[in-house]
């Protein structure tokens, strides 16, 4: 068989880019045998030619000008792994307009510019592949596009940030504080020196937007998703969660509400029943539960980040791109069908809640809080109390209410009314309780 040697341009030689280049070189013969097509890495764009690198690369392969990848007529496929959004956006847009398929793992890029880039991809008939943008080595993108293609997706719920999951797992299993768990994650390389996007929920939110756009074919902007991080999770909340039969996970929740044809989009630390598979996902591992109207619930599990898992996902897309360069009419890059779907206001989203107040130890406190909740028709299913904290040398009770399902806006009004009461020492800790059922 005559083989056409496909030429690959790689943008970015950081952690993931290095893993991709090493694998393309180390497993070169294996990949060619499986794909039945020859390939070669023709050019690599980097930010700084003088920077020391973990992998040996022939100097003639390197350039500081990413436009050389786009303008080189010999390059067939471009891999974008430079990170950030501004330069990556210009590169991906230019490549698509030049008719070159693009493989990217850039979740922030797709969350911010995905709608536009998918539109260009559709107009030009040039595929954009992005398996590595969500869940590292977990094949969630291809599963949604192919294996689950006949399903109306009812919900996607998942743990898709390994750093936050490692921190929460350490707090639960090791009994350490949030600060100590974060420091341990940084020491082991699971968290960046600046872990902001991981712990404030926005890394997970970027992935959630991509999954929602893919599952529902609707353009979505970052301002449409409600995002809360793990910064206020405490060991006290883990102790109550265990007593009540739950654990705490940073969850992405995407739900389709048939009434009104609306999407619910949120990221927040939530109480997860110990009976659900997601409660067993610990450390840096990720898991994504997809519920379809035909298949029911499926769960995808694996390492969600790191050089090798992410490189595996990138190269899987490169193989697809190589095959589809031969048969472009069958390409499986995302083809948006631009269904217009409204996003449900967070005030209207409903779940049960865990609310923990730090209160003065005095008669009538429980009755007073219950009265404020009752005014807004918020039911209480259970209460619990422990004299756990000392404030200014005085004992204070942790008073927990488990509330029946109600709209978040209604609970916010009740909490606002409760702030005026002098017996409540601090803002309460509030967590949604996930029931894993759809409206």
User: Torsion-angle region of residue 135: left (phi > 0), alpha (psi -120 to 50) or beta?
Assistant: left
Neighbouring CB atoms inside 10 A of 257's CB total 18
Distance CA 224, CA 241 (A): 29
Active-site amino acid positions: 207
Distance CA 224, CA 265 (A): 7
């Amino acid at each position: 068989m005559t083989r056409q040697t496909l030429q690959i341009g790689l943008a970015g030689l950081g952690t993931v880019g290095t893993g991709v280049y090493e694998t393309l070189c180390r497993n070169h013969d294996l990949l060619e045998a499986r794909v039945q097509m020859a390939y070669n890495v023709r050019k690599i764009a980097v930010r700084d030619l003088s920077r020391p690198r973990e992998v040996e690369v022939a100097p003639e392969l390197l350039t500081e000008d990413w436009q050389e990848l786009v303008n080189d007529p010999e390059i067939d496929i471009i891999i974008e792994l430079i990170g950030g959004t501004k330069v990556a956006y210009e590169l991906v847009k230019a490549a698509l307009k030049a008719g070159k398929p693009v493989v990217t793992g850039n979740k922030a890029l797709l969350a911010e510019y995905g709608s536009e880039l998918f539109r260009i991809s559709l107009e030009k008939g040039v595929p954009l592949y992005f398996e590595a943008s969500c869940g590292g080595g977990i094949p969630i993108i291809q599963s949604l596009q192919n294996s689950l293609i006949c399903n109306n997706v009812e919900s996607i719920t998942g743990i898709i940030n390994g750093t936050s999951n490692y921190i929460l797992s350490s707090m639960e299993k090791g009994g350490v504080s949030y600060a100590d768990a974060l420091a341990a994650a940084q020491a082991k390389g699971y968290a960046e020196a600046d872990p902001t996007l991981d712990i404030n929920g926005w890394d997970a939110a970027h992935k959630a937007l991509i999954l929602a756009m893919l599952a529902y074919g609707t353009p979505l902007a970052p301002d449409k998703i409600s995002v809360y991080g793990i910064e206020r999770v405490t060991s006290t909340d883990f102790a109550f969660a265990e007593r009540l039969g739950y654990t705490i996970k940073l969850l992405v929740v995407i739900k389709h509400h048939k009434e009104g044809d609306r999407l619910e989009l949120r990221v927040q630390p939530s109480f997860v029943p110990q009976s659900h598979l997601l409660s067993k996902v610990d450390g840096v591992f990720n898991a994504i539960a997809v519920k379809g109207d035909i298949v029911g619930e499926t769960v995808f599990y694996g390492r969600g980040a790191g050089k090798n898992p992410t490189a595996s996902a990138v190269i899987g897309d490169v193989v697809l791109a190589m095959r589809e360069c031969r048969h472009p009419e069958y390409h499986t890059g995302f083809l948006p069908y631009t269904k217009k779907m409204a996003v449900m206001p967070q005030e209207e989203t409903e779940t049960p809640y865990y609310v923990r107040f730090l209160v003065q130890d005095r008669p009538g406190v429980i009755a007073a809080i219950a009265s404020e909740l009752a005014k807004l028709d918020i039911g209480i299913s259970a209460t619990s109390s422990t004299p756990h904290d000392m404030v200014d040398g005085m004992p204070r009770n942790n008073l927990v209410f488990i509330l029946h399902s109600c709209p978040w806006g209604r609970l916010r009004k009740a909490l606002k009314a409760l702030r005026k009461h002098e017996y409540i020492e601090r803002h309460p800790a509030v967590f949604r309780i996930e029931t894993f059922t759809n409206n």
